[in-house]
Amino acid sequence: MSVLLSLLARAASMAISLVCGVMTVRLIMGGAGVEYYALYTLVASLPGLISFSDLGSGAVLVNSIAISDSPREDRTIRAQLTTVGRIMVGFAGTGMVVNAILYLSGAWRVVLGEAGSIPGADLAAFVSLTIFCAGIPLGIWQRVLLGLHKNHWIILIQAAQGPLNLLLVWVLVSFAPPSAATFLALSSMLSGIVVAGVGFGVAFGALRPLVGAALRDIPRPRRAPGVRVMHIGWPMLVQLISAPLSVALLRYILAQSGTTQEVAEYGAVGQVFFAINGVIAAGGLALWPLFTRSRARGTLTRGPYLISAVFAAGAAVMCALVWAFSPWLFDFITDGSLDVSSATVIAFGLMVVCQAALYPLGMFLMDEAGIRFQMIPVALMTISTIVLALSITPALGAGGPVIANAASVLVFQVIPFAVYIARHRDRLMGVPTPPDEPAS
């Protein structure tokens, strides 16, 4: 039921975010220009590079909350919340220090490629990342609600970010001086921290009084010492790092070898396909606590292969529809100011289909041994994506990084995950291990 709710919620939120995203692109391209949209998409995507702000430790919370019969009174969960909260506060502080070094050294202009030559681009990146880092500790709300089987709440709360971002962009484009176009990406960060604050408030109420108690414990390590969370956190961290390196980093690889036109094309097409991928991710994430709880109770009766096939087929249908209408669709999105090639659209479609097939398989492998297993395939996928992207992007342009990711996910994740599940079916299905026979 929670998977269906998540899919329905994501479908509704996708419609909202897609409309708002399209209007945002049209506003920026029509009011500021293609080069400012390229800068906007690069700066607004910076949080994707550091999406591992809990160092993977949040996986412990999701699993513990998912199997607890009374999470509000569970002292183990309270201690885990405190420990994960400390990790996130420390990560936020470290992120601010690194951000300051990048700004003072001028490295932000290098990272942003051709778009970094726009006056004030480095300052826009610095301010944007500062706002994001300030909101990192609030991000624990997603782990709490996911463990409580309320992934649809996460989706609906996050859906508010698109309209709020659109409103802020409209205000800047309509009423601010032209020089403010450099700072358009701040709208994404400001809307993000507002949404995180609302989500945190919902999680606070859903797990009252536990979250409040854990918050009070964060600055008191002697009175409330930390507990073991990184036994799952370290393997999970490998997966979390793979996301920014194999997806978010791609547009920065493109920025180094391509033009602002190609970066803008990547951003415009991604606006649609990342929304589709969001629907898939919503359904996939909802499977995690379901598989975990069913495995713990011995009620898991079916593997993830059929679900994986359904996810991939559904994604293929949606991507085919986008491709069929792509000439009209992207002409409208870009306000006629940008040429989008059919090859780029197909490349994004392949990436989304591969991700769709992967999600159910990965969520089925979220027990401790499964998370450890995923480290090597995920690491190989990440390395392969980066090497391939660097090799083929100069020749293929905006579609190059996306093809690199699709091929790497298929070879290094989908196939190995499917084989591993078949070989370890009894453990993953929660079949009890028979006791050792007595010695004769």
Q: State the amino acid at position 434 in one-letter form.
A: P
> DSSP 3-state assignment of 326?
helix
Higher model confidence: residue 26 or residue 3? 26
Dump pLDDT digits (tens) for 90-113.
999 999 999 999 999 999 998 888
* Mean predicted confidence (pLDDT) in 167-186: 88
* Mean predicted confidence (pLDDT) in 13-29: 83
Tokens encoding 98:
């690194």
Q: Is the pLDDT of residue 263 over 50?
A: yes
Residue 12 to residue 347: CA distance in whole angstroms? 25
Nearest to 254 by CA among 51, 402, 426, 136: 402
Decide: residue 293, CB within 10 A, 0-12 exposed, 13-18 middle, 19+ buried: middle
Please list, in sequence order, all residues whose beta carbon lies within 8 angstroms of the beta carbon of residue 363, skipping any fewer than 6 positions away.
Answer: 284, 285, 287, 288, 291, 304
Domain ranges of the chain: 2-428
Q: Is the pTM of this model over 0.75?
A: no
Residue 24 to residue 36: CA distance in whole angstroms? 12
Higher model confidence: residue 291 or residue 8? 291
Dump pLDDT digits (tens) for 361-399.
999 998 888 888 998 999 899 999 999 999 999 989 899
Q: Distance between alpha carbon 139 and the CA centroid of its chain, in Å?
A: 12
Share of the chain above pLDDT 70, in %: 95
Dump pLDDT digits (tens) for 234-245.
777 777 777 667
Mean pLDDT, the chain, whole residue set: 86
DSSP of 196-251: HHHHHHHHHHHTTTHHHHHHHHTT-TTTS-----HHHHHHHHHHHHHHIIIIITHH
Nearest to 31 by CA among 222, 169, 133, 167: 169
* Mean predicted confidence (pLDDT) in 187-195: 93
* Mean predicted confidence (pLDDT) in 262-281: 86
Tokens encoding 128:
């944007």
Higher model confidence: residue 286 or residue 86? 86
pLDDT of residue 437: 47
